[in-house]
Structure formats: structure tokens, C-alpha cells
Chains A and B, each alone.
Chain A
Amino acid sequence: MEKPTRLGLGAKGLVLTLVVAAVVYPLLGVIGTSFASQSDIIESTGLVLWPTHPSLEAYRTIFTGGVVTRALLVSIGVTVFGTLASLLVTIGMAYGLSRRGVVGSRFILMTALFTMLFNPGVIPNFLLINELGLYNTFAALVMPTLVSAFNLVVLRSFFMNLPDDLYDAAKVDGAGDFRTLVRIALPLSKAVIAVISLFYAVTYWNAFFNAMLYLGDNDKWPLPMVLRTFVLQGQSLDSASAGEAVAPVQSVQMAVLVVAVVPILCVYPFLQRYFTKGVLTGAVKG
């Protein structure tokens, strides 16, 4: 094949640089602004990339108790418990449906898969949560999205693709179905489970709609609801936190955003290399 032209290379480089900048600039801007002082914010327009007098005042404001601290704890709790519950149920179901010839497995699988076709809708879901007595409980943030049919299919395909010999060997050695899952299947599927955990954790961490629908008290709010009220709708935070705050409003808002984004930024690099495989198993085999 011929060498790429210099013009082509330059154009490609330029476009890719712009694409990367379009993703990175807003995130860096948000992080920078959260450390900025009032003068930095007035001087710059909108976002401060590099604060001249960095201060932690904004973080002190949101972490000294009050709305944001509480919401952060709620979000962490919901994310941890929700992800664990989702994983347990998804692993069980995916494994239960992964071996051929299990009675009724086809029917159970179809029951799960059909839910990808339709969505019960806001009103019936709301009425159900009410009837179950889950309104205004944290369970209402977890239960409605407990299992994703997509994740189920991904994990099931993975279990099915493990070599049959392994399962046979386990059986010969006298391991029951449950022992085989714990000793053979799970250790071999750590990577897929990591990706699925990320998918679930991100769903719970970002969950906003369920919180808005099902939580009446604002002292139960998770982080996204706080973001909406104090960053998007611009309500002031000081009713909840101490009035001594000296940090600029904008850097406080950006600090809340940073708190919401940073956990994602932290786990993402470790799981990123597994994505393609996980996503494709779901898309192609699903």
C-alpha cells in the first residue's frame, strides 16, 4: 500500500485532536473551576482551566456536613448495595440459564428477553412502587433496575463459552452445580464481571429519574438530585450548609460536579480494556 499523504495525516491529526479536546476540555474546566478563587472566575469566562490562586474552600463548603455530604453518602450506599444485589441476581440467573437442558430455561430466558421490547412506562411503574410500599425508600432506587437483560445476556454467553470439559471435569470430581459456579465459572469470568459491575455501578451512581419519581423527602436525595437542584436550577446551598462559606458559588457548584464525576474517572481506566469484548458479546450474541 502507498504511503499516506502528508495532507491526509495532518487533517486526521487535527480532527482527532479536536475530538479529544472536546471531551477533555469541559472536564478539565470543571475541575479547574472547582479550585478557583472569585478573581479567577471573574477574569476568565465561564470555566477556569488553570486557577492562579487555587483554594480548597469550595470542597470545605460541601464536605462540612449538609446537603452534599449527605447526598454523597446516599449515592455511595445505593451504588454499593445496588451493584452487589444486581451482581448476585444477574450471576445466578445467567449461570442458571447457561447450561443446556435445564428444565424451563428457555421459557425463563424469553421472559427476561421480552422485557427488552417494551417498557411498562412511567405511570404503571409509579403505581407499582406505591402499591409495594416502596415509595420514599432507598429500595425504590435499586429494585426497579435490579437486573439488566443486556448484562444478563452478556454474562450468560460468557458462561456458555467456557469449555464444556471444565464443567464435565468438575462434575466428575463430584462438584454440584453451585460449587461449579463458585469454583470454576466465577474465577474464569472476573473480567466480564468487572465490566458488568461497572455498568451497574454507573447506573446507580447516575440514577436521577427514579430518585425524582420515588423519593418524597429531600434528605434522602442522592447526588444527581442535588446536582439538578443546586447546579442546574441554581438554588443556593447555604440553607443547608454553614453560612460561613467564602467560596464563590460557581466553584462550589463545580466542586459538586467534580464529586459526581471523579469516581467514574477513577474506575474507568482499569476497566476500559475489557469493554469491547463485553459490549460485543452482548451485541453480537444477544
Chain B
Amino acid sequence: MAETATQVAGTRRKRAGKATAHGTGRHLTLRQRIRRDKVMLLLCLPGLLYFVVFHYVPLLGYVTAFQDYQPYLGYAQSAWVGFTNFTEAFTEAAFWSATGNTLTIALVQLVFFFPVPIVLALLLNSVVSDKVRRFVQSIVYLPHFIGWVIIVSIFQQILGGAGVVPDLLGSMGLPRYDMMSDPGAFPWLLTLQLVWKDAGWGTIIILAALLNIDKQHYEAAAIDGAGRWRRTWHVTLPGVAPVIILLLILNLGQILSVGFEQILLQRDAVGPGAGEVLDTYVYFHGIKDGDWGTSAAVGLVKAVIGTALVLGANKLAHFFGHEGIYRGADR
């Protein structure tokens, strides 16, 4: 509502501006406006420079995707090779294996991580005692702030070869199973770690959506004789559905970017056959093996598809009548 109001006001101001372009001091020339806003613009400058230098300028580096890039020659002197790097990558088994792993991991995470924060939030929401709820909340938010290196180290201590779980299995006379080095279990291991780190954090947004549900709906449903479960089904879920759909769509947009750091740290234990994803492929082939052109090509393809997916996801979110991610820019 507020946004519409400001938009209307904005249009009105613009129209007024046209009518009295050379009128009183309100409508200044560009130079006068820059002088008026110079402090604000100066305050923006370092940040703007940062975004340009570290987010836009590197995009030029993608020319290496079309070059036989040699670091000692630089961009200017390296030979142009057209689309050779792309065809080379696409005929490589390792590339398709990495793509397959990326999609498998993304799918397992979508099915087995995505619903966890929702269920946890519903559970927390149903806790009557404020004290208990706040206590549990502050505990489950915490792992979000712990870095991947630390988390992987902790998991190594629990699930790894000499860890708690294999020891426990061993003492029960079962084979000592080391999940950390089992290629078949890799997507599950990653998902388990992700649940530990971010399931709690993910509840924040859903708990907020739950708070916004009108209490009267619950009372009305209760008067109509709806039990606990029916009220959850007919009032709570429809109430948070918009947020869940939005999160789901945004998640789909990120599908090619499964946790880079997390996987990089554990790839060696399971081998590239199961542990290589598109991001690690680019890193190992490009920076480790010096195969700059091909990996830049793969990186470019991934970036383009990724951006298209995010844009598409945002469009979809708008289509479903939600704000999407970039509406704030209109203000």
C-alpha cells in the first residue's frame, strides 16, 4: 500500500516538474542536483566502486572462455579459439559426471533439507511456553554462524573413521561404517550437514509468516469444530504457503550452486567420481591444472544458466503474486 502511494506521489512530482521546469528552486539542473547531493553521493562512492570492481569487471575475465589463455601472455596476447573450449568441455566425461553429481546433490537436498525448517517452525510455533520456544530458537540458530571447516571437522570426529559412530557400531559387533568416505552416501552426508547448520536458521522466515496469520481464523475454525490437526491443515498451512512457494522457487533458481566450500573440503575423501560438482570442476581444472579456457567456458555456461534460473524463479514468484526478491528496488 505504502509503495503504491509513493509511486503515485512520484508520478505527480514528475508531472509538476515538467510543467515548471524552469520554475522555483525545487527543480534544479543536473549539476545543481549533484552539488546538492554531493555528500550522499560521496558516501555511496566506495561501495559503488567495490561492486563495479569486484562484481562487474571480473565478468570481462570470461573472455578467457573463448581463448587459449596463457597466464604469462595475458588476455591481450592469448590466442582466440572461438567455441573450441565449449565443445571440448561438452565432450568430456568428467564434465557430465560433475553435472550429474550437481543435480543429484541438489535433488536430495531439495527433498530432504527443504521441508525440515518448515516442520521445525511448525513445531516451535506450537510450543505454548514462550521461554522454552525462545531457548530452543537461540540454540538452533547458532550453527548457522559456524564455518564449514569447523562443521566438517566436527562431523569427521563423529562419523569419520575413528569417530563416535563407527566406534559405537564396532562395540555392538557391527561393521565399522565410515560415512565420510562412502561415495554412495555423499549427497546424504552433505544434506545431513546442511540440516545441522541451517535448518534452525531457516525457521526464522517461516516463524515470521506464522506470526502474521490472523488469530481470528483459528478461533473461527475452532468454533466450527475443527480439531488441532484440521486447524493446522486448513489455517496454518495456507497461511504460510506463499512464503514456502517463494522459498521453493528461489531454491530452484540456485540449483546449480550446491555448497561449494562444503564439497571442496570433502571431495578428496570420496573421490571426484562422486564428489565433483560444477563449481569444484571449474576450480580443479582451471586453477589447479591450469586448464583456464575450458573451465572458464564451463563457469560461463553455469553462470548463464544460473542467472537465467534465478531470473526465471523471480518471475515465477511474481506470477504467483509474491513480491519476489527485487521489488525493494522500486522504492
Contacts and interface: CB of A to CB of B under 8 A. Distances in A.
Interface of A: 1-2, 4, 8, 12, 15-16, 19-20, 22-24, 26-27, 29-30, 33, 45-47, 88-90, 92-93, 95-97, 99, 102-106, 108-113, 115-128, 130, 143-144, 146-147, 149, 152-153, 157, 160, 176-178, 181, 198, 202, 205-209, 213, 224, 227-228, 231-233, 253-254, 257, 260-261, 264-265, 268-269, 272, 275-276, 279-280, 283-286
B108 interface: no
A12 B303 contact: no
A113 B326 contact: yes
Nearest to B282: A122
A61 B196 CA distance: 31
Nearest to B47: A93
Given A92-B43, A93-B43, A272 B138 contact: yes
Interface of B: 30, 33-34, 36-37, 39-48, 50-62, 64, 71, 120, 123-124, 126-128, 132, 136, 138-143, 145-150, 152-154, 156-158, 162-165, 167-168, 171, 196, 200, 204-205, 207-208, 218, 222, 228, 257, 260-261, 264-265, 268, 279, 282-283, 286-287, 292, 295-296, 299-300, 302-303, 306-307, 310-311, 323, 325-326, 328-329, 331
A157 B168 CA distance: 51
Q: Which of B39, B47, B50, B120 has the most CB of A within 10 A?
A: B47
A117 B139 contact: no
A182 B149 CA distance: 38
A19 B171 CA distance: 25
Q: Secondary structure at chain A's binding surface: helix, strand, loop or mixed?
A: helix
A264 B306 contact: no
A284 to B, nearest CB: 8
B79 to A, nearest CB: 17
B322 to A, nearest CB: 11
Given A93-B46, A286-B325, 13 more contacts: A20-B136, A33-B157, A46-B162, A93-B48, A106-B329, A115-B55, A121-B302, A125-B54, A176-B39, A177-B37, A177-B39, A208-B147, A264-B146
A89 B50 contact: yes
Closest 5 CB pairs of A and B: A206-B147, A124-B61, A93-B47, A45-B167, A46-B164
A97 B44 contact: yes
Nearest to B57: A128
B296 A105 contact: no
16 contacts: A1-B218, A12-B123, A19-B136, A23-B140, A47-B158, A99-B40, A103-B37, A112-B47, A113-B329, A118-B307, A118-B310, A122-B295, A143-B50, A147-B50, A206-B147, A254-B157
A227 B151 CA distance: 11
Contact of B287 (A26, A181, A213): A213
B138 A269 contact: yes
Contacts of B46: 88-89, 92-93
Contacts of B43: 92-93, 95-96, 177-178, 181
B149 A232 contact: yes
Nearest to B119: A15
Nearest to B9: A100
Nearest to B49: A89
Contacts of B154: 26-27, 30, 257
Given A112-B48, A268-B145, A126 B150 contact: no
B248 to A, nearest CB: 15
A26 B197 CA distance: 12
A95 B149 CA distance: 35
B296 A124 contact: yes
Nearest to B280: A122
A123 B41 contact: no
Given A92-B47, A103-B33, A117 B58 contact: no
A97 B233 CA distance: 43
Contacts of B295: 122-123
Contact of A257 (B61, B150, B286, B323): B150
B326 to A, nearest CB: 6
